[in-house]
Amino acid sequence: MKLIYLTFLLIIPLTFKAQSEFNAIDYSVTLGDLETKIFDKDSTANALVIYEYGNSYIDDRTFKLVSEVKRKIKIINSKGFDKATITVILYNDGKKKEKLRNVVATTYNLKGTSVVHTKLRDSEIFEERYNDNYTLAKFTLPNINEGSVLTYSYTTESPYVFNYKGWEFQDDIPKLYSEYNTSIPANYEYHIKLVGFLKLKVNQSNIERYCLTVNGGGYSDCTISKYVMEDVPAYKEEDYTTTKDNYLAKIGYELNTVKLFDGRIDKISKTWKDVDKELRSDNRFGKQLNVNISNDSFISETDDLKRAENIYSYVQNEYTWNENFNIFGDTSVRDLLKNKSGNVSEINILLHNLLEENNIAVKPVLLSTRANGFATKLFPVISEFNYLIVQATINNKTYLLDATDSYLPFGELPFRCLNQDGRLLDFKKGSSWIDVTPGKTSTIQYKVDLKLEEDILVGKLYTTATGYQALPLKKSYYNNKTTYINEYKERYPSILFTDHKVTSKGKSSDMYLEEFGIEYATEDIGGKLYINPFLFKLLEENPLKLKERTYPIDFGYKDAYLYTLKIDLDKNYEILEIPKELKISLPNNKGLLIFSTKIVEGSIILYFKFNFKETIYNPEYYESLKQFMGTIVDIQKNSLIVLKGK
């Protein structure tokens, strides 16, 4: 069930204070809020949350969960107008439902020296059915202009106490002040999870005695908590990350136990032992792992690893993934055998069963994909998993397998699966967490071997790619070879490509090898030949552009890049200029760049290598990584070899 944000707002009269900055102290609107036109800390911000306040508690009369919200927003420019539309998600189970109450919303505009405020009418609040369980309550504040200040408040009532309301401190616009207050009776024990890398300014709790009473003399104390963040930067998405839900600064709650007033204890959260038992007996999961396939096509192969590879290749090529994500089968393994198409669970359960029948030690592994977010590790939440893979153990070595992609080599997972951890299911010894991060470094190498003939460079390009660097090249080439070559020609229009060959062993090989014949005309200016030695770029532009980043840089795998160039010169040329050598590294030796150019027996030999030794870098490495990648781009753009005819 999704968290539902419930809020109660009070309109506070407009106060007039002569100031030239935002009022982040409280909900009241000041002249400073209206007069200030920009946000100095983030010049790209289209809108800004000046102040927001939340409060959730159990009502001591109705015993419903009440949540109140107040929010004050500055609209900086027209691109921020979308922040004037508010959506509140309300849940119902057909018997009970959540309710939205006390909506109060006002738009403030400064017209000359006068303040004009426009209130939202009750008739402008709409509800629309999203599905059987969710209703969307929506309203848009009126009279929005650049420079407007918006205030809105609302309250929600929920009968679902187990679904205590979380709070998002971070959004895609900056926030000056964000406060969340909670009152949780001692009857309810929650797992509380703070997500993200931002620090709380205030994190305090105390006990309030007799906060909740019932007829008959029963009572409960409450834990009163206050959480505050200040100067919260906008969450801006950039390359090398998973879903923002992994890192958006927020607090969430999961009910663990309920202590009833008569002394009974109701255990809500399950243990992994409970979940293992349920999965083992589930008709769509555990029962499917025991389906006998009765395929003896692989018995003749006596080598365990080769037999496993043959089974893996068979499932890859005979069965098609329908691109549905689910750890439970939509149908059954036997239906997959008949239809030749199924979801990820069905295909990999088939792989699991075939391997097991052929005496390969296997276990299923539950995953949450990169786009789905991290699965909670403190306690089991089975709904957070959306993917199933297989772990095979052969000759004391483990392999993680996924047969949904026919381009994957044995032992390599799709990139979508590289989300740090998976839950290995062992129904005899109990499940456990395992690391699914690839151990091998993925590499790509361009080797350019040329000879200068008058003012034309003629020779060969050799490309070698492994692992996740090879995967997109293989898919592009084997999907459409003509289009693949034409894309090379379009990307490098100044180079003539001939005689293309791929020399690696098929589309599921762990390596991709290709070669081109190439010709490249140098630039002759005043009798001097100017050559940019990087005919092929390893990194076209710096992908890291943010001023600051509050979440990790997640590559998913370690990778390394190598570019070598050799130009054979004849005796008619002398070398006037070659690039300077450079060697730099990331802090704590987390990455290395080496660039050198040498003259050896009439040839120019250039060597350029850089690597990233970690799969994930914490945000404190962001500035170093940005400079590191910027240097890579600068070297490729600005390096120059200058020759002159003798």
Task: Give Cβ neighbours of residue 46 (< 8 Å, ≥ 6 apart).
Answer: 75, 76, 77, 78, 79, 80, 83, 173
125-129 vs 175-185, strand pairing mode: unpaired
Does residue 367 fall inside a structural domain? yes
- Total of domains in the chain: 3
Is the pLDDT confidence value at 331 over 90?
no
For residues 422 and 455, state if they share a domain: no
For residues 175 and 316, state if they share a domain: no
Does residue 7 fall inside a structural domain? no
Does residue 138 fall inside a structural domain? yes
Question: What is the model's pLDDT at position 262?
Answer: 63
Does residue 19 fall inside a structural domain? no
Is the pLDDT confidence value at 1 over 50?
no
Structure tokens at 268: 């809500």
Query: Which CATH number covers residue 317?
Result: 3.10.620.30
Question: What is the model's pLDDT at position 455?
Answer: 86
Last residue in a domain, options 239, 267, 295: 267
Query: Picking from 98-107, 250-259, 555-564, 628-637, which range would have the lowest pLDDT averaged per residue?
Result: 250-259
Question: What is the model's pLDDT at position 218?
Answer: 75
Task: Give Cβ neighbours of residue 56 (< 8 Å, ≥ 6 apart).
Answer: 6, 65, 66, 67, 68, 164, 165, 180, 181, 182, 183
Mean pLDDT over 386-393 rounds to 97
For residues 411 and 457, state if they share a domain: no
Percentage of the chain lying above the pLDDT 70 cut:
96
Does residue 2 fall inside a structural domain? no
Average pLDDT over the chain reads 92
For residues 419 and 505, state if they share a domain: no
Task: Give the pLDDT confidence of 491-513 residue by residue, as tens digits.
Answer: 999 999 999 999 999 999 999 99
Task: Give Cβ neighbours of residue 454 (< 8 Å, ≥ 6 apart).
Answer: none
For residues 556 and 540, state if they share a domain: yes
Confidence of residue 263 (pLDDT cuts 50, 70, 90): low
Task: Give the pLDDT confidence of 276-310 residue by residue, as tens digits.
Answer: 999 999 999 999 999 988 788 888 899 999 999 99
Higher-pLDDT residue of 87 and 295 is: 87
Q: Are 247 and 419 in contact (CB under 8 A)?
A: no
Report how far apart, in Å, the C-alpha atoms of 150 and of each of 29, 30, 229, 531, 569 are.
9, 12, 21, 58, 70
Question: What is the model's pLDDT at position 361?
Answer: 96
Does residue 378 fall inside a structural domain? yes
Does residue 8 fall inside a structural domain? no
Question: What is the model's pLDDT at position 330?
Answer: 82
In angstroms, the CA 219 to CA 212 distance is: 5
For residues 252 and 332, state if they share a domain: no
- The b/e string for 290-322 (b: 16+ C-beta within 10 A; e otherwise) is ebeeeeeebeeeeebbebbbbbbbbbbeebebe
Mean pLDDT over 313-328 rounds to 94
Last residue in a domain, options 267, 285, 317: 267
Query: Which CATH number covers residue 472?
Result: 2.60.120.1130
For residues 372 and 496, state if they share a domain: no
340: left (phi over 0), alpha (psi -120 to 50) or beta: left
Task: Give the pLDDT confidence of 410-455 residue by residue, as tens digits.
Answer: 999 999 999 999 999 999 999 999 999 999 999 999 999 999 988 8
What pTM did the predictor assign?
Answer: 0.87
Mean pLDDT over 503-532 rounds to 93
Query: Which CATH number covers residue 170?
Result: 2.60.40.3140
Last residue in a domain, options 267, 285, 313: 267
For residues 530 and 579, state if they share a domain: yes
The whole domain housing 598 covers 442-645
For residues 81 and 122, state if they share a domain: yes
Task: Give the pLDDT confidence of 221-246 residue by residue, as tens digits.
Answer: 999 999 999 999 999 999 999 999 99
Does residue 332 fall inside a structural domain? yes
Question: What is the model's pLDDT at position 13?
Answer: 39
For residues 304 and 207, state if they share a domain: no
Task: Give the pLDDT confidence of 355-377 residue by residue, as tens digits.
Answer: 999 999 999 999 999 999 999 98
Question: What is the model's pLDDT at position 10?
Answer: 28
For residues 458 and 409, state if they share a domain: no
Mean pLDDT over 100-112 rounds to 96
Question: What is the model's pLDDT at position 570?
Answer: 78
Mean pLDDT over 555-571 rounds to 94
Is the pLDDT confidence value at 265 over 80?
no
For residues 115 and 135, state if they share a domain: yes
Mean pLDDT over 70-87 rounds to 97
